[in-house]
Amino acid sequence: MKIYRLPVLSDNYIFLLHDREQNLAAVVDPAEAEPVLNKLKELNAELVAIFNTHHHGDHVGGNQKLQQHYPQLCVYGGEEDRGRIPGQKVFLKEGDRVEFAGRSAEVFFIPGHTRAHIAYYFPPIQPEDTGELFCGDTIFAGGCGRLFEGTPAQMVESISKLRNLPDNTRVWCAHEYTLNNLKFALSVDGENSDLQSRYTQVEGDRRQDIPTVPSLLGLEKQTNPFLRWDSPSIQKAMNATEDALVFGRLRGKKDNF
Question: What is the DSSP code string of 185-253?
Answer: HHHH-TT-HHHHHHHHHHHHHHHTT----SEEHHHHHHH-GGG-TTSHHHHHHHT--SHHHHHHHHHHH
- The answer to whether 31 and 61 are in contact (CB under 8 A) is yes
Q: Are 131 and 109 in contact (CB under 8 A)?
A: no
DSSP state of 165: S
- Break the chain into its structural domains and give their ranges: 2-138+147-175, 177-214+227-257
Task: Tell me the CA end-to-end span of the chain in Å, nearest whole number.
Answer: 38
Distances (CA, A) of 51 to 99, 110, 184: 11, 15, 31
List, for residues 111-133, the tens digit of each pLDDT value. 999 999 999 999 999 988 999 99
Residue 206 above 90 pLDDT? yes
pLDDT for the residue numbered 27: 98
Banded pLDDT at 97 (limits 50, 70, 90)? very high
The β-bridge relationship of strands 12-19 and 2-8 is antiparallel
| Phi and psi at residue 236, to the nearest 5° | -65, -45
CATH assignment of 2-138+147-175, among 3.30.420.40, 3.30.1490.100, 3.90.220.20, 3.60.15.10: 3.60.15.10
